[in-house]
C-alpha cells in the first residue's frame, strides 16, 4: 500500500496535513478545534484515536491551536521543538517528545520524517521532508517569507511537494490590511507570495516531481486561479505533473506516493 498525503484544510483559520500508510496515521500540525478535527477526519473514515502522532511545525494558532485539546482528549502523542512546546504551554505533558531540527523521526515503520528549519518571524518553524520505505520523498513546507539554501536542499528530489502560495502581491498592496500587517506578511519572516513560490519551485522540481499542492492561500489577498497561473508561469517549461490547490474547508483530495494511476483521489465530504 502506498503513502497518502491529505490536507484536512489550509489557511489562516487552521492547518493540518494527514500522512497515512498501512502502518498508521500522522498529522503535521493541528490548528483546528476538537470538533473540527473530528469532522475532517470523519470524511476520511478516521477518528482522532486513529492518529498515532502529531508533528507540529510551529506554535502559531493556525498550526498549533488545537494541539493541547487533542493531547488531553485523545491522548495523541506530540513531537515538536522546545520553543514550540514552550509557546504552546505543553512542556509538562507526558505525551510530548522534543525534537531538534534534522532529527530523524520514525513514527511509522515505513515513513521517516525530517524537520528542517525555515524562516518565520516569532517562531522556530520547521518544514518536513518525508521519505517512504521505498525511497520516495515529499515535502510539506509552509509559513516562510523567503527560502534559504537549506530549504532548497531539503526540497530537491521530491516526487510530491506541498507548499504555501499565500498572497498575490498586487492584491495585498491594494487590499484593506494596515501597512504594518502588509509589511509583516511581505517580510523575510512572513509568507511566500505566488511569485516567490514559483521561483522556489523552479529551483527544486525535477523529472521526479509528479505533483504539487499549493497551500495556505490568503482568503483576502489571493485567489486559486492567480496562485496556480503565477506558479505555472515559473515552472511550466520544466513541470508536467499535477498541480492542485488546498483550501480552508478541506479535505478535498488525497495524493498517493508510489501509485501513479492513483496519484490524486477526490474526497466526497
- Residue 44's domain is classified under what CATH number? 3.60.15.10
Q: Say how many domains are in the chain.
A: 1
- Name the nearest CA neighbour of 34 among 75, 62, 81, 73: 73
Pick from 197, 49, 19, 48: nearest CA to 114: 19
CA-to-CA distance for 181 and 187, rounded, in angstroms?
10
In a domain, 243, yes or no: yes
The domain of 93 spans 3-262
Evaluate whether residue 268 is within a structural domain: no
**Span 68-125, pLDDT tens digits:** 999 999 999 999 999 999 999 999 999 999 999 999 999 999 999 999 999 998 899 9
Task: Assess if residue 210 is contained within a domain.
Answer: yes
16, part of any domain: yes
Supply the pTM of this predicted model: 0.95
Q: For residue 267, is it within any domain?
A: no
Domain assignment present for 211: yes
Q: What is the pLDDT of residues 124-151, one digit of tens each?
A: 999 999 999 999 999 999 999 999 999 9
Q: Give the torsion sign (CA, 202, 238, 158, 265).
A: positive
Confirm whether 52 is domain-assigned: yes
Domain membership of residue 269 (yes or no) is no
Amino acid at each position: 500500500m502506498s503513502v497518502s498525503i491529505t490536507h484536512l484544510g489550509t489557511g489562516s483559520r487552521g492547518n493540518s496535513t494527514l500522512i497515512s500508510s498501512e502502518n498508521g496515521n500522522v498529522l503535521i500540525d493541528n490548528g483546528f478545534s476538537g470538533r473540527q478535527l473530528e469532522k475532517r477526519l470523519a470524511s476520511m473514515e478516521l477518528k482522532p484515536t486513529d492518529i498515532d502522532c502529531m508533528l507540529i511545525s510551529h506554535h502559531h494558532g493556525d498550526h498549533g491551536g488545537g494541539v493541547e485539546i487533542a493531547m488531553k482528549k485523545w491522548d495523541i502523542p506530540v513531537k515538536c521543538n522546545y520553543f514550540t512546546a514552550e509557546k504552546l504551554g505543553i512542556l509538562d505533558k507526558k505525551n510530548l517528545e522534543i525534537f531538534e531540527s534534522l532529527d530523524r523521526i520514525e513514527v511509522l515503520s515505513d515513513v521517516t520524517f525530517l524537520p528542517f528549519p525555515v524562516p518565520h518571524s516569532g517562531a522556530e518553524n520547521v518544514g518536513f521532508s518525508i521519505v517512504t520505505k521505498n525511497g520516495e520523498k515529499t515535502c510539506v513546507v509552509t509559513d516562510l517569507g523567503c527560502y534559504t539554501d537549506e530549504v532548497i536542499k531539503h526540497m530537491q528530489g521530491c516526487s510530491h511537494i506541498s507548499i504555501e502560495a499565500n498572497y498575490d502581491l498586487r492584491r495585498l498592496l491594494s487590499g484593506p490590511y494596515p501597512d504594518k500587517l502588509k509589511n509583516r506578511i511581505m517580510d523575510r519572516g512572513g509568507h511566500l507570495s505566488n511569485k516567490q513560490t514559483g521561483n522556489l519551485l523552479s529551483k527544486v522540481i525535477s523529472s521526479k516531481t509528479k505533483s504539487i499542492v499549493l497551500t495556505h492561500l490568503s482568503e483576502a489577498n489571493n485567489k486559486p486561479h492567480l496562485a496556480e497561473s503565477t506558479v505555472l508561469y515559473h515552472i511550466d517549461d520544466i513541470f508536467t505533473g499535477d498541480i492542485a490547490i488546498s483550501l480552508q474547508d478541506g479535505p478535498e483530495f488525497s495524493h498517493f506516493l508510489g501509485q501513479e494511476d492513483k496519484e490524486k483521489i477526490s474526497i466526497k465530504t
